[in-house]
Amino acid sequence: MGNTKSFLSWGIRIIISFLFIISAVAKMYPSPYFAISTFEVKQLYPLGFSEIIAPWFSRILIGIELALGILILQNNFLKKIIIPITILLLAVFIGHLSYVTFASGGNSGNCGCFGELIPMTPIEAIVKNIIAVGLLLGLYKLLDRDKLYSKFWIVALITLATIVSIFLLAPIKKVTSDYIVTPETNTVIDSATVENSIPVISDSVVTSVKVDSIKKEISIKKEEVISTTEPAKVKSGYAKLFPKIDSGRKTLCFFVPGCDHCRTAAKELTELKQKNANFPEILVIFMNEEADLIPAFFKEAGAEYPYKIIEIIPFWNILGTGKDTPGVKYLWNGNTYKYYNGIADNKFNPVDYQELINKPFSELKK
């Protein structure tokens, strides 16, 4: 009987440990700062966390998850502190996920429990957490009371060490939503510098790619010119990145250099542009994640286009709440007429886009 009890308790402890450790590690995949920043923007900002609090909360939360995954395997204050805190944390997660599911009226999207490594819907996460709570309650009954002289310093040291390790792996960077990275030096320029450079394009601010690499002398017969009637000019909000973006028709893209889906979308855009001399100018905003892959990105895309690089959190902010990469936006005189994003229902569709850009202004709907 004693062996069975011990076997069951250790089995539960290993399962819970695995869940918490993989949850913490997954929130840092594929790279700690990128993954944690993405977690903050997609999961914490919608909950009302500010740009100041979110970086601290996210790292402390991940550190605690990692600590609990380790502490469940040791015996100090296991029954008195570790198991109750673990159950409490899971209960908070269940409550949050239940609210999100109810508020959104559905069960779509990634809950973020395992970051981008293992996408999981809110309901799947709720079921997983309820099962984990059940296992922990069973473990609580199986265990004897803690030893009278359990060492609290061990618990505190492990917790502190895991939290500090997360801050070391992904240091908090002081950035604002307007920060831009110059491709030549990989340095950051604040918004005032960028604003002061308009309308003169300074070499210290613009990308090294001045024009797209598709030649204007296209042998294919030109498409019929779109009606000269145009929408009134408005400010799109991207002028500090591309000064002339609010004049004429533009294809604004939001890409991550190492993203396969982004590369596919870029390649499809290049193929469309090669067949259509009247194609809207292509401009690219890259996330500053694996920026060294940009040359390879353009090589796979089949052409180079004017681009800017901005930091990770500002990138997600400018992409838009609830939006994902690849993003492709059709602008005309600053007006947005289509915004493709992500890899689901609203993903970039080259056939649909070709039809859209050939429509005269009178047939477009914002």
With a cut of 50, say whether residue 198 has pLDDT above it: no
pLDDT tens digits, one per residue of 80-133:
999 999 999 999 999 988 887 776 665 666 667 776 777 788 888 899 999 999
Residue 109: the pLDDT is 66
The reply to whether omega before 306 is within 30° of 0 (cis) is: no
Residue 120: the pLDDT is 81
Residue 189: the pLDDT is 40
Give the predicted TM-score (pTM) of the model. Answer: 0.74
Distance CA 51, CA 39 (A): 12
Residue 215: the pLDDT is 47
With a cut of 50, say whether residue 199 has pLDDT above it: no
> Average per-residue pLDDT in the chain?
84
Residue 328: helix, strand or coil by DSSP? strand
What DSSP state is assigned to residue 217?
-
More confident residue, 179 or 190: 179
**Which residue, chain included where needed, has tokens 């947005």?**
336
Residue 148: the pLDDT is 80
With a cut of 80, say whether residue 336 has pLDDT above it: yes
Beta bridge partners of residue 189, listed in sequence order: 180
Among the listed ranges 109-113, 224-228, 241-245, which one has the minimum average pLDDT value? 224-228
Q: Which domains does the chain have, with CATH numbers?
A: 2-169 (no CATH), 180-363 (3.40.30.10)
**Can you read off the two tokens belonging to residue 104?**
């959104």
Residue 362: helix, strand or coil by DSSP? helix
With a cut of 50, say whether residue 348 has pLDDT above it: yes
DSSP class per residue in 306-319: -EEEE-HHHHHHHH
Residue 201: the pLDDT is 26
Q: How deeply is 291 buried, as exposed, middle or buried, from its count of CB atoms within 10 A (0-12, 13-18, 19+)?
A: middle
DSSP E strands in 54-187: the ranges are 180-181
User: Minimal CA–CA distance to 162: which of 78, 93, 65, 75?
Assistant: 65
User: Minimal CA–CA distance to 307: which of 161, 162, 208, 165?
Assistant: 208
Among the listed ranges 117-131, 280-294, 313-327, which one has the minimum average pLDDT value? 117-131
Q: What is the mean pLDDT of residues 314-320?
A: 92
With a cut of 50, say whether residue 210 has pLDDT above it: no
Distance CA 291, CA 257 (A): 6
Distance CA 20, CA 58 (A): 15
Residue 19: the pLDDT is 94
Beta bridge partners of residue 283, listed in sequence order: 252
User: Minimal CA–CA distance to 317: which of 264, 217, 238, 233?
Assistant: 238
pLDDT tens digits, one per residue of 181-191:
554 444 444 43
**At 366, is the pLDDT very low, low, confident or very high (cuts 50, 70, 90)?**
low
> Which amino acid is residue 254, in one-letter code?
F
pLDDT tens digits, one per residue of 34-43:
999 998 998 8
With a cut of 70, say whether residue 208 has pLDDT above it: no
How far from chain centre, in Å, is Cα 46?
Answer: 13
**Which residue, chain included where needed, has tokens 């060490």?**
161
With a cut of 90, say whether residue 139 has pLDDT above it: yes
Q: How deeply is 231 buried, as exposed, middle or buried, from its count of CB atoms within 10 A (0-12, 13-18, 19+)?
A: middle
Distance CA 31, CA 360 (A): 44
